[in-house]
Structure 1
């Protein structure tokens, strides 16, 4: 399966397994098991979404948004539960207004889940960690 490195954004082909003890990027040699959400911009968004065979969970947020700040830690904790099962990503709508407009983001935070390059689910409003985990589990 194709997986985008969370560090250098290069595409890696790795065998699909139930779990992984080790997985390293072929380009930057850093761990693909790093579950920290990646920052997406107008320049790398399409490349990451299209080149990920695993679902990509994107949090559209802004730094001034209270509910976004509340959900941020939940989003990061949830990411640790799905290494190489999903890629968690964030889009700062303050900096990336084109992406916000392109996806019709009317309220933040909004989570959009992409599978095979297509949007498969959308949820607006701050989600707690359990709700986010359940949502992701249903869609992987």
Structure 2
């Protein structure tokens, strides 16, 4: 029986092919309407854009060095710059990043909301060790 995982690991050409096909279909358009009317984000720390800032948790990143490469500074993203979701939002043609649920208000909600939260998980036990009540 052929082990497909080892076959794909030995030949990285497939990753280049798939990524070039995905990127070739998404072109940012300057001064154009977004390609989709709204964008809602669900996830964990890989997509969180500041939902944990006001929660009773130690899973917060609204301080240095997080955000040092982000134009707005420390936002609560679990990285030093843009998240994968921020990049997708820009490629889709949005002029601004999708706001976190914790700070989204009024008409902002109609273009989308980021519900992602660091230390989130599918199990009830996910992130329990980070609660600081």
Return the TM-score normalized by structure 1. Answer: 0.24
* Larger fraction in strand: 1
TM-score (norm 2): 0.25
Determine which structure has greater relative contact order: mean sequence separation of CA pairs < 8 Å that are 6+ residues apart, divided by chain length.
Answer: 2
